[in-house]
Structure 1
Amino acid sequence: MSGIPNLRDLVLRDTPFANLMNKRIYNVLLIATKYDAFMLEDDGRVDEQIFNEYTALSLRYPPRFTQVTTEEEALNELKSRNFELIICMPNMDNRDIFAAATEIKSQYPNIPIVVLTPFSKEVSKRVANEDLSAIDYVFSWLGNSELLMAIIKLIEDKMNAPDDVASVGVQIIMLVEDSIRFYSSALPHLYKFVLEQSLEFAKEALNPHQQTLRMRGRPKIKLARTYEEAVRIFEQYQNNILGIISDMSFMHTGVKDPYAGYKFGQYVRKTGKIIPFILESSESANEVYARELGASFIDKNSKSYPQDLRKNIMQRFGFGDFVILDPKTKEEIMRIKDLKDLQKKVFQIPDDSLVYHLSRNHFSRFFYSRAMFPPAEFLKNVDVSDYKDMDEARKLIFDLIVQYRRMKNSGVVAIYKKERFDEYSNFARIGDGSLGGKGRGLAFIGAMIKRYPKLEQENFEVNIPKTVVICTDIFDEFMETNELYPVALSDVDDDTILKYFLRASLPSRLIEDLMAFSEVVKGPIAIRSSSLLEDSHYQPFAGIYSTYMIPKHEDKYEMLRSLSDGIKAVYASVFYRDSKAYMTATSNLIDQEKMAVVLQEVVGTQYGDHYYPTISGVARSLNFYPIGNEKAEDGIANIALGLGKYIVDGGLTLRFSPRHPHNILQMSTTDFALRETQTRFYALDLNPENIANKFSVDDAFNLKKLTLKDADADGSLKFITSTYDPYDMIIRDGYYPGGRKILSFVNVLQHDVFPLASTLDQLLQIGQKEMGRPVEIEFAINMNKQDPRKASFFLLQIRPIVDNKEVMNEDLSVIQQKDTILSSTSVLGHGIINDVHDIIYVKTGAFNAANNQLIAYEIEKMNRQFTGTDKNYVLVGPGRWGSSDPWLGIPVKWPHISNAKVIVECGLENYRVDPSQGTHFFQNLTSFGVGYFTINPFKGEGWFDESYLNQMPAIEETEYLRHVQLESPMIIKMDGKRSLGVVMKPQNNTEQ
């Protein structure tokens, strides 16, 4: 079975349709007498007819026609503008029309020139005697605008074929015909057919933009007028020929050869390639040659010629339905309409039929004609004789379709069609408005994941959950038809607003769509707000509106009701008191706010009557509190067991840098691990009775807060914990019976059960590159209960990091020391703080480490005056803050200095201590966004202007401490990326 390509190794790349058909005809120069031009325009203007032809077939860019009557006018036009095509309509009295073409060609050798002439014996004689070397094609013109379109497409195909075939394997249909009259009638039929078919197949695309792009992958048509030209085209494109239509008699070595078509057929058959061949002839006796070649035969004199041609192409070239035949009787067994149909029926195709169709490349042709190149290329290289068992072949085709559909669905915002949304669909929109912030973020992530197939690793897929976005126009419609604005904008309380919204009704066309969606999604559904302002680049709106989760309900009408109530409740949250206050605070107008709603499968596993994911997390591409050898740009992640709400609510999470997953502060000491790791988590209550009619302003009304004991009973801790052994008082990696469980995620971070850290690192890098700014992502992971190495990673959101503190763009290294109270080159934290007036510092003159415990008490007392106010201070002192050893620093605990906004460790000449990043301190610094400066002025590292402060009156002074209050605030600036920080002297005090 060596010859079977392995699907596992196959990464289906999407076809870059946008790069196809890049060379186009935009402007056509028409050289014709006024009379001929008038004839052209008589049945409606030619531009208009062409335009109508184009739009009827969903084609874009119809060309513009410029009409001139003389060679001189033509040359003037050519000087002033670009033309991609010249059409001449010779007036038969005017002997010079061919001479004119020769003259134009000599000056503009690259522009194709086509002659359109009404055909008669007279004309045929003339054409036979003329020098046509300057003319690319001659066509017989009987006033049919479809011919103009065919001419334009034929020339566009000629220009694009080499690139498009080479880049994605676009197919070629070859027409070999030397009778001008005949190809003038066959080409419009052929083009119309191919364009209609590809329009039909393009409907498989997921949105209108993709449909238009898909049309570019249609087969190209090449016209050959001599045996030599036919061989040349065949040689060039033989691996990509969908089918050949050939006349029987045409020029061969300069003379008319009545058997040229038969000879060309033999030449094609000798290559061993299975290519459908249609032989045409005006002499019905030639049918025997067609039979010998295994070709179809069409009589050119038949009255039903266009229908015959159409029928043959339909059957032989892979267009239309795929008819599965019984190879012995050639009777139809079944028909396959489209991809979904093939996926359904592939297992019902009998063995001998499967062998028959596979060995003749019918499957790959089915895909090629529909511009589905990745599966077509794959199947074309499969040799049936490699299979011992046809079930393998069926499975291969099935898996190929599944993989292709997954690939097509990922990263695309499809238009939601209830009959088409199924388990391979990923992201769809209902409505024409905006997707809102979250929706846009999700659509962006989907597209991003698709561009980086390397993110997928074996057993660890990266994706977004099944998502449908209800766009903002539905919100508008809901608000207006139910006349909700008066209540919504009034001052009534939140519960009243919610009551009114729940009573209102959603647009009726939404109901069937919601019904269909809830049937496809097998688990609980999250209903998230996705407002226009949320996640907008410059405003932190995250977490202002509600997210409800609803369990899966067996009764589909109950399910529909919960889903509708959830959507209305999210709509209502726009108008809650907090939202209105936030709007005012950020100077936004509430009536500009529009809400889209994201419906999303909840990531997780069911355990009894509750549901939660193994891991939820948030990661940022910039870490302003790097420790040890981490750098700011290495990023930072926080992960927890259970639903992500726990993280948003500020619960204890495990914090690590994706590039340093072994370096986990919280696991650095036993004491710290026992105290600073997660002990509770959120899960969704699956009992449907607990949700009926209970929608509340609090979106967590149906979440349970559980303990690790509950998780242990669920069996979900097995691969993510360490165990504390109380006898030896140590923490052992892994899950052991007895002993307290500690959420260390050790198997994932240290032993790489699945590549979480490296995937996060890649995603943060890619996200930052694609968004052009630092990003924050939210994610959830589902671990397979049976096999922990199998896990699925779901991205839930991506947004630019917006720091509530102003974004720091200033270069702090150029600030002069004399303008600062403090400056440091070793700083944790980021942003600008401009509302701190107070500074408390340990007097260096009187410092003695023996007094450190006393100093700690004094600081605790001073901090008490700040608690309960929203005022903060800068705290400066020698040695390590919060050290448990009083000889190394002042042994304060976090609550004793809780109002400090910046903490400074200042080394002294006779008291040098390495800077600490005391664990508890560190945890709190990061959660409260406190700045941390380390300075050693005696070594020239940083600076502290104590004498400046000593000159000021103290609010309070003790033996060891001074508390000074400045009239104007100190401006504190921290650049976390470069680890620089300054505390500026107030402007009006710098003169002192």
Structure 2
Amino acid sequence: MEKIPARVSTGFEGLDKVIDGLRIGDNVVWQVDSISDYRSFVKPFVQRALTENRKVVYLRFAQHEPLLEENRRITLYHLDAQSGFESFSSEVYNIATREGEGVFYVFDSLSDLLSAWATDLMIGNFFRITCPYLYQLDTVAYFALLRDNHSYRTVARIRETTQLLLDVYNVEDRIYVHPLKVMGRHLPTMFLPHLMSGNRFTPVSSSVDTGQLVRYFSGKGLENAKRNLDYWDRLFLHVRDLLQEEMDDEEKRDILDHLCEIMIGREERIQELARKYLTLEDLCNIKARLIGTGYIGGKAAGMVIARNILLQDPSFDWQRYLEPHDSFFIGSDVFYTYIVENGWWKQRMEQKTGEGYFEIARILREQMLNGRFPDEIEEQFWRVIEYFGQSPLIVRSSSLLEDAFGNAFAGKYESLFCVNQGSPEERYRQFREAVRRIFASTMNEDALAYRLQRGLEKHDEQMAILVQRVSGSYRKEFFFPDLAGVGISYNTFVWKKEMDPRAGMVRLVMGLGTRAVNRVENDYPRVFPLDAPSLRPHSGGSDIRRYSQHDVDVLNINSNEFETIPANTVLSGDMGIQSEMVGIRDHESEQLLKERGRGGEERWILTFDKLLSETPFPAIMQKMMKTLEEKYDYPVDIEFTTNFTGDGAFMVNLVQCRPLQTKGRGEGARVDIPSKLSLEQILFQTEGNFMGSSIAQQVKRLIYVDSEEYSRLSLSEKYDIARLIGRLNRISKREDCPTVLLGPGRWGTTTPSLGVPVRFAEINNFLAIVEIAYTTGSLMPELSFGTHFFQDLVETDIFYVALFPEQEEFLFNVGVIKEGENLLPALLPESARYEKTVIVRDVEKEKFSLYADIVSRKVLCYRSVIR
């Protein structure tokens, strides 16, 4: 038999009769004209609760006068709404969890949250997650809304969720209470307005009282047309109106500051740049292209601010070289609304705990790939589809913490191309799927490990999204830009003595920029310092063919898919590419083909030599980054595309700009590299080909993956090795056990034949990683300057070195590792079968050290004590 909830008093016997009393579990929302009217119903409720020895909790967060006086019998919590929706909601959730069942709650006016969150949507979301939880805990809670401060949609969402919704009208000092919703009970006159007189509540039946109410309601209703709009929209309508009027500078500045606070983000240094380089008109234009409400996120903010910095630069005609953008933005509030709408908030709270941090995240990620969006959001998604038509799009993560000073989150979240072909419905489904996948990527293990390692696991991490038109041209059945790349304005990771780190560096590819930001398989994008563009970072500089880009990433319009095609197909085909500008003819390969009876076939090598030596491209890129660096007062990291416009002219599309995370130990810091060592002492030595500043560090553990044994493994066994390295990583903390990891080819590749396919979260505790080249097979390092992998190494302060056997200074003495006891079976007994492939040696007694000197470019790892 269903349990009937116990009755509770409002503190007014007359009102109890009108609504048949309160019930345990009720959430009561009062719509009032003033806080004093709300207070007049709160006090009797609390007094009666205290008389009945109920526990009363008052949640104080508003700017209005307190609802209750200090009382030792009332538990008071002060909350900070400015901390953001998630932090605020989480704190309320945690308070309710701690206080337990049967508690009576009084909340300040929810309308006051508008000053902090600037949107009705999030107030509705807060109520939809808080109300059911309090109901579950058998509480009784009072809330208030100021009448006409919220959209009809928000009030409707609250009405759907709450158990009681009561209108309170103050008409010429006469108080009327009109129950609009009373769940679970019904009386004949319950839903009529009631006139309050002392403790009596009388249904309105006389024509005099009815006439007064009608006049009052009709007078209030004149402004109600605006209530179809969210507070957010009304705010921007007000700003548009103000822009038509004369405003003094202080008023403009105040409004600009407020809009930057609610749109750009919470980090003060980014806000400061926004206030300096964005105008009210700019922010209104962003609003016009914003889906939902909230922040546009770090990636979008960086792109918009950087473009404005350049266009406002009087020293250079950036209009001539800068491609315009027409991006859309999905506001960060859509992310939380997606979670609330699908009923995942409780799991979100569980995921925030230590026990559920990774485990619940895996469940949430799968759910987020299949959730539904509110109808009004889906309608706005159609705006994007209809605006761009069939132009290819890239849907990019732009979270709150992303691309900030101190945290880049490079490659941690998804960014997805939508080729955007087919019927409108097909294109819509493809776009919606991309949004879901980006939202779900907030629960990726690498992203979670990154946040945990950097102490950000408790921070709000809302996901906004940047939607950009893909820069490029149609070429036969393909679409892609001529060039794309990554640039850094300050390159502490120089690889030649001749280079000036202040000059910066670019990593350049043909086609889509995916091959610039990722470590690509069996490929070598062109990496060049901007003060000496002809310099190449790899060893074996004479073998230009081997160390070049062999494949190009494109969008296939016919198949509606991302595709990789040979670079030679692009350069030798009729695709409108200025082949001589970016490549050189490979006469040696053409002669070989001719000898094999395939004469007439063109062969090209992508070098970009002519572009770098005969055009202003390097100078323009350096000017761009130096201008941004100066205004940021910090080194920057950019992503861009470039398209030729004819006669060698080109335009650059700046798609991203963020502060460059660096953890250098100081440019020019010297380390004296020990000399006169015996071969038995040296594990490895080389010159150049390392990333990181000078280092002199003791090493306590070596982990080595043997190339021959690794090559013999099956595909699944190679993935086993990656997971094994991850387990060793967890027990090799840098502070207690500084560890050097050595292995064949590329760490973190997605192709096991090229190296060990570890995730970055599986190597993030190591002091240093070493990639060893082997002339046979495909196990070759790729110096990843400028990639997401590079950024991870920089932020985590992991030293990196690549060893190329053909280099003059190269020495790698594998016997030094193999001569000792392999601790793998003892540390990880379940992985003992791989002891021939993975060797783990603790070397503290041999006094191993790792040295590198940024000036001489020498690297040495050696032992002082020989076994």
Give the number of the structure whose alpha-carbon radius of gyration is greater.
Answer: 1
When the two structures are superposed, what TM-score results if normalisation uses the length of structure 1?
Answer: 0.42
TM-score, normalised on structure 2? 0.47
Higher relative contact order (CA 8 A, sep 6+): 2
